[in-house]
A and B are shown apart, each in its own frame.
Chain A
Amino acid sequence: MRVNFTVNGRPQEADDVWEGESLLYVLRERLGLPGSKNACEQGECGSCTVRLDGVPVCSCLVAAGQVEGREVVTVEGLADYARQRAEGGCTTGACGTSLQNAQQWEAKGTDSQTGEGTELSPIQQAFIDAGAVQCGFCTPGLLVAADEMLERNPNPTDADIREALSGNLCRCTGYEKIMDAVRLAAARQSEEV
């Protein structure tokens, strides 16, 4: 079958999709977006978390056909999504790059292959700064989930953070630096307001 949907603001078309394929498989193997991760493919670990029409979901549990005509945001689109939200322009994450922005686009000073200089969302930057990334396999799902929580609840208590991220397993960090990262992102966010 063919599935048409929007990913990170851009219309996408996936062809020859077998009915049993998950959204996760289509993103990773058909659309070249492997940022969403495949740690369990059982809906238990949260590493594949994306936003479907704004709602965080395990993309491994969403059949590809269910996303027909809908809007998906993945970790690859998180920086754009956060920027648009900060500019107040976009609430669905599906606004993409405006024509004006596209015409004014120019390469930013990036530093070799490390991605230094890449524009990041506050939560992405906080994960790096706080040391919340080790192997990084849980990171994309945690970022999408944490970003969504901060959108709903800009001043979370520790218990709020733990509750919101309890569907995302991490095996490396013991979660302490993840807590630090979310607190840091929240603090930076409130300073800006």
Chain B
Amino acid sequence: MSPNGAPTKITQGSQTKGGIGESTLRPDGTLKVTGEFAYSSDMWHEDMLWGQILRSTVAHAEIVSIDTSEALAMPGVYAVLTYDDLPTDVKNYGLEIQDTPVLAHGKVRHHGEPVAIVAADHPETARRAAAKIKVDYRDLPVITDEASATAPDAILVHENRDDHHAGHVPHPNIVHRQPIVRGDVAEARKRADVIVEGEYTFGMQDQAFLGPESGLAVPEEDGGVHLYIATQWLHSDLRQIAPVLGLPEEKVRMTLAGVGGAFGGREDLSMQIHACLLALRTGKPVKIVYNRFESFFGHVHRHPAKLYYEHGATRDGKLTHMKCRIVLDGGAYASASPAVVGNASSLSVGPYVIDDVDIEAIALYTNNPPCGAMRGFGAVQACFAYEAQMDKLAKELGMDPVEFRQLNAMEQGTLMPTGQPVDSPAPVAELLRRVKAMPMPPERQWESSEGADVRQLPGGLSNTTHGEGVVRGVGYAVGIKNVGFSEGFDDYSTAKVRMEVVGGEPVVTVHTAMAEVGQGGVTVHAQIARTELGVTQVTINPADTQVGSAGSTSASRQTYVTGGAVKNACELVREKVLEIGRRKFGSYHPAWATAELLLEGGKVVTDGGEVLGDLADVLEDEVVEVEEEWRHRPTEPFDLRTGQGNGHVQYSFAAHRAVVEVDTELGLVKVIELACAQDVGKALNPLSVLGQIQGGTTQGLGVAVMEEIVVDPKTAKVKNPSFTDYLIPTILDTPTIPVDVLELADEHAPYGLRGIGEAPTLSSTPAVLAAIRDATGLELNRTPVRPEHLTGTQLSAG
């Protein structure tokens, strides 16, 4: 029996038009506005139990003992499991390094680590039972920063490392280190008339997707389990789950349940294995839904970072060299830290031409919360720092900050610090020109005939100013983000496309394992099918593991890679359909053999527009189906000593102009406007493109002025795990976001498209910071900026 909320096919019927390039509306839109779209937390099964996780209350401690007896004795409790109950020798998981315990064994390494799991007949019973589990901890010293991690007598977060980075890192508390050296910095430095240095701090940001981690595990008759789950990559989850359960992968069936946002936070496993373990143990379906408090502990965050930069420039404004050191705090487990290091180092120069660079990026193991993927992935932290440096240099040189950037902007053909040539358009100077040319928002926009509208002033309805002490500032920034998985990763996707005639109409079914997390991949897949196969009716099958891997909905890659796979499968289907047509009708018209043939409007037509026949007549009752993997151009690993290598697939560029108003007396910031210009290669769905750019821009605004997970440096405990204390932008905090979209095709990519989701998250933050600096004259070397940083009233740094 399928549980309530199991996803169904979605069909956009014959009334829906729209191939690529059109703003086709979402096929799941109606379901989502009526409340019928089932998210993972909406799943329901008769007789299901509720799972609950007991998490560590301390950051670093030995577990002396665990007593579950009282919890087990509670009425309504079906199972209480600890490390000792794990069924196989595989007790850890991880994206790249399997260092994360399913349940803590002998030690906890961060605040909120899973220690035990409970299944009960009511969620409150499960919570109360978990609270009755007695865990005796013996505290260990906490590693919280680079100094404590690499001190001579530092306690090791992970002993006996044998992962493939262990051999080249300078200390076992360093997950991965990537140096990049190109040119001769010492020599180039001599040419510099101006040198600026800076030390920057980037706070820990949370993805704060709204749909909490959740899912339903249903035990199956063959001893396997069916997991309905919100994730970014079904097959990656499967690869990590099955060995822990002791099941072959075919006995772990995975179906994507509705996903309420992701932004990187669902790349790692959360409750997947726990729900499966409880379902297999109790023989009953088990649902786990985190609440918001638990969600802050249940997924990795964006790496907080310290960044040390030195840039030089000649008097006429040409960059001479750059040295930087980027220290990312990976927290207790590796997650995506190695790849984040690769990005941070290889993108640390930004979209500029600098031939002589000396770069080092590392990620630490500490007892802070684990950090991994979040939109922008290592490029965000670097962009915050190098853009601050650009403003400092421009100021030092007495140049306009936009002109200075344009003077040094990379273009097609520029070499990355890794030696890789940028071999598609890189319109960095043009994006800056466009964003600067946008009309400025009017001054004193809060004034009305009835006095000040405080809603449009810093402080808002708190009514803290009617314009007194309010100063306007304007700032610019631009960034570069890679698209797709890098460093030699086999980054493929799979699509299965079927064409048949139903009720006299040709219809296409697209089946992939792509995680639709809100980005609109389902919309785009249908558009591609319409464009390639000349149909209107397209059905999108639910994403599951019955079809090959689609790779992750990450790294701005899904439209490129799974979109590419759908396009490729459609082309193969078209060839087969045309073969059938040639076989049946070739003798009636020579064009079947000689002309370039297309499928349009349900017909086979020549490229000259002559109709050769109806698809319905060609296919009759034949079904054409193709499942095929598709790959973009291969990449290479970065050399471990020099960082050289063609590591990236594609680059994506966006520029922002921020206009802010600051109440300098109270340190309150109102962002008035955040204009963006971005090159998207080809906008497959312009409406969705705008949504991605505006959404990404707003997440960048969040970490500029409000969002930060605060970790106590003495205890490594999280101090603000709630939406009361971790603030994300509301509609009042968010300004208008005018967008100028540029479409310069990348000849290597399907339709010339460029991955777009992440670039706007990069430059948004430094643009806001630059605007606040412009308004206040303060240096502001950390983000997010808090009121006390603007008023000078903070008790201590940091």
Query: Which of A's residues lie within 8 Å of B, judged by CB?
Result: 18, 20-21, 28-29, 32-42, 44-45, 47, 74-76, 78-79, 111-116, 118, 120, 124-125, 127-129, 131, 133-140, 143, 159, 161-163, 165-179
Contact = CB atoms under 8 A, between A and B. Distances in A.
B731 A168 contact: yes
Given A18-B122, A136-B33, A171-B728, 8 more contacts: A28-B42, A41-B291, A111-B11, A116-B15, A128-B29, A129-B25, A134-B519, A172-B261
A178 B208 contact: no
A16 to B, nearest CB: 9
A175 B31 CA distance: 20
B211 A33 contact: no
Interface of B: 4-5, 8-13, 15-16, 23, 25-39, 41-42, 44, 122, 124, 207-212, 258-263, 289, 291-293, 453, 455-456, 461, 517-520, 539, 687-688, 690-691, 694-699, 722-724, 728-732, 734, 736-737
Given A38-B289, A169-B210, A113 B8 contact: yes
A29 B724 contact: no
Contacts of A124: 33-34
Given A40-B292, A133-B26, A177 B731 contact: no
22 contacts: A34-B39, A38-B212, A39-B211, A44-B723, A45-B723, A79-B34, A112-B13, A113-B11, A115-B34, A133-B29, A134-B519, A135-B209, A136-B32, A136-B37, A136-B258, A137-B209, A138-B210, A162-B455, A171-B208, A171-B261, A173-B698, A176-B737
A76 B723 contact: no
A138 B30 CA distance: 14
Given A111-B13, A115-B36, A169-B723, A177 B29 contact: no
A34 B289 CA distance: 13
A128 B10 contact: no
Given A111-B15, A169-B210, A174-B737, A133 B731 contact: no
A118 B28 CA distance: 12
Contacts of A165: 731
Contacts of A179: 731
B737 A162 contact: no
A79 to B, nearest CB: 7
A32 B732 CA distance: 33
Contacts of B724: 42, 44
A78 B27 CA distance: 20
A39 B292 contact: yes
B695 A134 contact: yes
Contacts of B688: 131
A32 B10 CA distance: 22
A116 B28 CA distance: 9
Contacts of A135: 209-211, 259-262, 517-518
A38 B723 CA distance: 13
B35 A140 contact: yes
A137 B30 contact: no
A112 B31 CA distance: 12
B735 to A, nearest CB: 9
B11 A112 contact: yes
Interface centre among A29, A39, A177 (most CB of B within 10 A): A39
Contacts of A41: 291-292
B34 A118 contact: yes
A70 B23 CA distance: 42
Nearest to B446: A159
A172 B292 contact: no
Given A113-B10, A135-B261, A171 B32 contact: no
Contact of B31 (A39, A115, A170): A115
A168 B539 CA distance: 33
Contacts of A40: 291-292, 722-723
B539 A128 contact: no
A136 B518 contact: yes
Contacts of A44: 292, 722-724
Contact of B12 (A79, A114, A125): A114
Contacts of B211: 37, 39, 135, 137
Contact of B35 (A36, A129, A170): A36
A74 B27 CA distance: 23
Contacts of A34: 5, 35, 38-39, 41-42, 44
B698 A114 contact: no
B444 to A, nearest CB: 15
